Structure 1
Amino acid sequence: QYHQYTEEIAKEISALSDRIKLTIYKGDLEKEKEYGVKNISALFIEGKNTSKNVVYYGMPSGHEFSSILEDIVNVSKGETDLSLKIKETVKKISSNV
């Protein structure tokens, strides 16, 4: 339902800089298994030198859109603007969120 809109947003964002690479996977069962995604629009923000990734499900609009832009910057720098206290709390989470 929101697949086309999500794809258009991703294309527009990737057009902002040649340092942003966009890869679109449609029906790639191996990628679905690797990322644990099925039958839903998912937007992955991955850094080149990190295993820490950000995943958005559904349509990226409203507050999510500005968060996506912020996450692209953070992933590219390999750091976040989170306080040390929040980082320590997040490290204690033992299950997928």
Structure 2
Amino acid sequence: MIYFYSTLCLGVIVTWLTRIMPFPLAKIIKFPPFFHRFLTYLSLSMMTSLLVSELLVLHQNSLPTLDVMRFIAMIPSFLIGYFRKSLMLSVVTGVIIMAGLRLLV
């Protein structure tokens, strides 16, 4: 049982270090202007590609359809990503709104 908990704790630490730590470090490190310009659009482009791929439901031998519930959750997430340029805040917003919509439906 100790192996399970130690593996779980180490997995959380590794996940936290690789996924969360780059956000505060990126604010500390001074990047060249071209790289900074690239990073300002990176979160928006990543969120757009992820959201568009999740919004469309593919069907065989017909056109894709729009998943309305995911589209409703996408709107505030997209706006947060566009105006705040924060990928993490945008993802958290989308997850919270999607959870709220699933509770209502």
Length-normalised TM-score, structure 2 = 0.26
Flag the structure with higher helix content: 2
Length-normalised TM-score, structure 1 = 0.28
Max Rg structure:
2
